[in-house]
């Protein structure tokens, strides 16, 4: 998973107390599988649980190219899952 590899490298180099502004994990443009916003939220949480250092204060998300509607629905799911 490319996003997981990139997030892992970034998190290893960040200092304690840093704030990460991360892109949303989304299927690639050539992916034929249609994922639900719930599945996308779960994929994002899986990447952060695998890579995110506990010393980080917060994570903030960019939409990662999602539509306004999809991003508005997905981001609250990250906080409630």
Catalytic-role residue among 15, 16, 21, 79: 21
* CA–CA distance, 81 with 68 (Å, rounded to integer): 21
Residue 25 near residue 74 (C-beta atoms within 8 A): no
Angle CA(21)–CA(26)–CA(30) in degrees, nearest 5? Answer: 135
DSSP class of residue 57 equals -
Q: Decide if 21 is catalytic.
A: yes
User: How many angstroms separate the Cα of 23 from the Cα of each of 42, 48?
Assistant: 14, 11
List the catalytic residues. 21
């Amino acid at each position: 998973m490319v996003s997981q590899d990139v997030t892992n490298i970034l998190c290893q180099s960040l200092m304690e107390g840093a704030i990460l502004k991360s892109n949303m994990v989304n299927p690639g443009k050539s992916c034929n599988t249609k994922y639900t916003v719930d599945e996308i939220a779960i994929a994002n949480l899986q990447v952060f649980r695998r890579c995110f250092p506990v010393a980080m204060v917060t994570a903030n998300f960019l939409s990662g190219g999602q539509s306004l509607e999809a991003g508005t629905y997905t981001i609250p799911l990250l906080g409630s899952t």
